[in-house]
Amino acid sequence: MGQLRIIKGTPVARGLALGRVHVVRARPKVVPTWSVAGEDVEKEIARLEGAISQTDEDLRRRQSLVAAHSGAKDAEIFSVHRMLLQDPTSRRKVEACIREQRINAEAAVQQLIERFRTTLGALGGEGQRGYAADFSDPWQGVLDALLKREREHMVAVGEQVVLAAAELTPQVVTFLEREHVLAVITETGGRYSHGAVLARSFGVPCVVGLANLLSRLEQGMRVSVDGDRGTVQLKPDQEDVDRFLERLARRKARESRLSVHASLPSVTPDGRTFGVQVNIETLQDLDTFPTATCDGVGLLRTEFLYMERTQFPSEDEQYRLYRRVLEKMNGRPVTLRTLDIGNDKRLSYFQTPEEANPALGWRGLRISIEWQDLLRVQLRAALRASAHGELRILLPMLTSLEELRTTRRIFEDVRAQLAEQGHEVAARVPFGLMIEVPSTLLILPQLLAEADFVSVGTNDLVQYLLAVDRDNPWVAKLYDPEHPAVWRALSMVAEASAAARKPCSVCGEMAGDYATALLLMGLGYGSVSVVPHLLAEVKLAVRETPYAEARELAVEVLRKVTSQEVGRVLASARERLHRRHLAESGDEAALEAGDPAADEASGRRDSD
């Protein structure tokens, strides 16, 4: 019986959560549908009425504004829209839909809009299609009001909830104040999509690929989420809850033991230092862990600071933000990545085209080079902030030496301009690039000759190397960081960097897996950058593994020719580490709780 209520998906971020579910709008054009419990039907109708009144009031305001500016004739359309909204037949239809189908008001309004489109649209001709749009316009307003009210309600809600959505987009993850999110569960989304990256940075469990999830949920239904195994249990009974709480307690105990290692230096038993830095999306991330435990910020994804706003942040605003990050890091390096928008990372106030192949389209550095004003403002703000810490600049999605030269010229130009204007700027601000596009692998020596450091963005590098869209659920199984080609590419970067005597790091998600981090150390990387809550695990692995052993592992992995073989090397590294840790610490509880990373890996294989 219990099994019927367990939905299996793909684990994206580890952890356990138990709470009430809240369904949110998945993306602007998709209206969420969920079931409404019998006793909540009247509440849903009251929500609908509230949204209708709000839309009516909005139309009335716009009517008088237009009348004042352009005359009463131009304002007539608003009175027609208000009449349409009061039309008892349409209202009755939407209400009946909520009562009979027991669905949320948004879905019922959407059905009405669809009906206008099919009945009037079917008549053919531009004119009729225009009417369909006119008839549905005011109801579209009601829909917007409902979705907006929903959002406001969510932000205001005091209770922590499990966020459920159709798709895991960055918008969905940034929908809620993070302190209100217990877990994120979605019907689709890739393990390495930006939504998943964000969910991991929240440090909350996340499971994607849960088939027909939304139709099985009711708003407020209790669910338990297992981010290790990738499962969601609907309406857990008391026995399930007790078992869940037991596991949670064990996990918490393990985490608190791990946190001790977080504050110790990241040095191997044979004396090799390996930097463990953090990936930061927002300023709030810096409050979620003791910043003194990391070796700096390896990746500051500035686009999320832009996404939280309603217009481009000004130079001063950015300066203050960057300065705060630098000051918080107290002398540790902060690697600021220039704006990396496009593809699934969109700004509501900046129109980017609808592209057939957005991952191969107008994104990252390409936008910064074309819209140089944006880049100049960002670099000005960053360089001004550099006087307050150890700043490094990192370029995303670079493809060619020309792009590096163009951007470096702008960077030097901005620096000279700031000096002329009397601004204080740090004497040295290292200028580096991300290795994300395969072309950069083939011109590494030339790039390294003109850059100060490189950082590998494996999330994108894997997608471009294997020709697998990181956001496309249809090919999610083919997105394979264990592919031998990925390891050969990683090795090429380490070797070329060593030859050029320039630091190299990995900031993609795979570096957060402690066995992978060890292999990267063995390949010659000087550091990795991971989400803050994986810092302790990676540091513990480094502290317990001699460098010579990591080196052997790296040599072994480079000999492998299939993903399965690479996977086995990683699994044996995990196993060895786990046994060593147990032998050294006698940490029985850790054994009981299991190795979450291994669980996750096996979960990944199960779902494959």
- Long-range contacts, stretch 542-545, CB < 8 angstroms, 24+ apart: 542/266, 542/267, 542/268, 542/274, 542/276, 542/517, 542/518, 543/261, 543/264, 543/266, 543/267, 543/268, 543/269, 544/269, 544/577, 544/580, 544/581, 544/584, 545/268, 545/269, 545/518, 545/521, 545/577, 545/580
- Which member of 507, 533, 578, 581 is catalytic? 507
Decide which of ligand PEP, Mg ion, none touches 508; Cβ closer than 5 to 8 Å per partner kind: ligand PEP
Find the binder of ligand PEP among 344, 403, 460, 482 (CB under 6 A). 460
Closest CA to 514 of 493, 528, 526, 494: 528
| Binding flag, residue 336, ligand PEP (CB under 6 A) | no
Question: Cβ contacts of residue 67 below 8 Å, gap of 6+?
Answer: 74, 75
CB 20 within 8 A of CB 222: yes
Cβ(566)–Cβ(480) below 8 Å? no
The residue among 503, 507, 504 whose CA lies nearest residue 529 is 507
Binding to Mg ion by CB under 5 A, coded x per residue (else -) over 419-448, reads -----------------x------------
Among 298, 457, 503, 526, binds Mg ion (CB under 5 A): 457
The tokens for 301 are 């994804």
With CB under 5 to 8 Å by kind, the binding choice for 301 among ligand PEP, Mg ion, none is ligand PEP
Among 436, 480, 513, 600, binds ligand PEP (CB under 6 A): 436
Handedness of CA 211, 216, 219, 225 (dihedral sign): negative
Distances (CA, A) of 568 to 474, 565, 571, 572: 25, 5, 5, 6
Nearer to ligand PEP by Cβ, of 459 and 491: the residue is 459
What is the bridge-based pairing of β-strands 10-13 and 206-208?
antiparallel
Between 150 and 460, CB nearer to ligand PEP:
460
Pairing of strands 527-530, 504-506: parallel
Q: Establish if 170 lies at the interface with Mg ion (CB under 5 A).
A: no
Kindly state the tokens that stand for 559.
Answer: 């000999």
Write the Ramachandran bin of 9: left for phi over 0, alpha for psi from -120 to 50, otherwise beta. Answer: beta
Residue 508 makes contact with ligand PEP by CB under 6 A:
yes
Return the number of the residue (107 or 462) whose C-beta is nearest ligand PEP: 462
Please, which residue, 105 or 208, has the CB nearer to ligand PEP? Answer: 208
Spell out the alpha helix ranges (H) of 421-559: 438-442, 444-450, 458-466, 484-500, 514-523, 535-544, 547-559
Indicate which single residue of 14, 25, 191, 301 sits in contact with ligand PEP (rule: CB under 6 A).
301
What minimum distance in Å lies between the beta carbon of 448 and ligand PEP?
A: 19
Residues 466-495 that bind ligand PEP (CB under 6 A): none
Q: Nearer to ligand PEP by C-beta: 190 or 313? A: 190
CB atoms within 10 A of CB 86: 12
- Crossing angle of helices 401-420 and 372-385, in 10° steps, is 60
Report the residue number whose CB is nearest to ligand PEP.
457
- Total chain residues near Mg ion (CB under 5 A): 3
Output the CA torsion 401→404→408→411 (10° steps). Answer: 160
Chosen residue from 297, 394, 425, 507 binding ligand PEP by CB under 6 A: 507
* From 200-208, 247-255, 455-463, 592-600, span contacting ligand PEP (CB under 6 A): 455-463
Site string for ligand PEP, 183-222 (x = CB under 6 A): --------------x-------------------------
Question: Which span (153-161, 322-330, 452-460, 516-524) binds ligand PEP, by CB under 6 A?
Answer: 452-460
Which among 155-163, 423-431, 458-466, 512-520 is the span making contact with ligand PEP, rule CB under 6 A? 458-466
The CA–CA distances, whole Å, from 143 to 95, 173, 206 equal 14, 21, 28
Which segments within 140-282 are labelled E, that is strand? 161-167, 181-188, 206-208, 222-226, 231-234, 275-280
User: Which of 174, 216, 28, 43 is CA-nearest to residue 110?
Assistant: 28
Cα–Cα distance, 312 to 314 (Å, whole number): 6
Clarify whether 507 is annotated catalytic: yes
The window from 113-121, 351-359, 457-465, 481-489 that contacts ligand PEP (CB under 6 A) reads: 457-465
Residue whose CB is less far from ligand PEP, 187 or 344 = 344
Minimum gap (Å) between residue 587 Cβ and ligand PEP: 32
Tokens at 178, concatenated: 């993070």
Asked whether position 335 contacts ligand PEP by CB under 6 A, the answer is no
Give me the least distance between CB of 205 and ligand PEP, in Å please.
20
- In the bound state with ligand PEP, the residue whose beta carbon lies nearer, of 209 and 298, is 298
Nearer to Mg ion, 161 or 447 (CB): 447
Q: How far is it, in rounded angstroms, from Cα 218 to Cα 37?
A: 7
Tokens of 56: 């009516």
138 touching Mg ion, by CB under 5 A: no
Count of alpha carbons within 13 Å of 219, Cβ hemisphere only?
A: 22
Q: Which of 22, 81, 97, 194 is catalytic?
A: 194
The partner in contact with residue 197, picked from Mg ion, ligand PEP, none with C-beta cut-offs of 5 to 8 angstroms by kind, is ligand PEP
Q: Is residue 581 annotated as part of the catalytic site, yes or no?
A: no
Of the residues 63, 459, 527, 545, which one makes contact with ligand PEP according to CB under 6 A: 459
Residues 349 to 408 in contact with ligand PEP, rule: CB under 6 A: none
Three-class DSSP category at 363: coil
Figure out which of the listed residues 55, 233, 268, 458 binds ligand PEP, where binding follows CB under 6 A: 458
User: According to CB under 5 A, which one of 106, 460, 509, 595 is a site residue for Mg ion?
Assistant: 460
Binding site for Mg ion (CB under 5 A): 436, 457, 460
Catalytic residues: 194, 507
Sites of contact with ligand PEP (CB under 6 A): 197, 299, 301, 340, 436, 457-460, 507-508
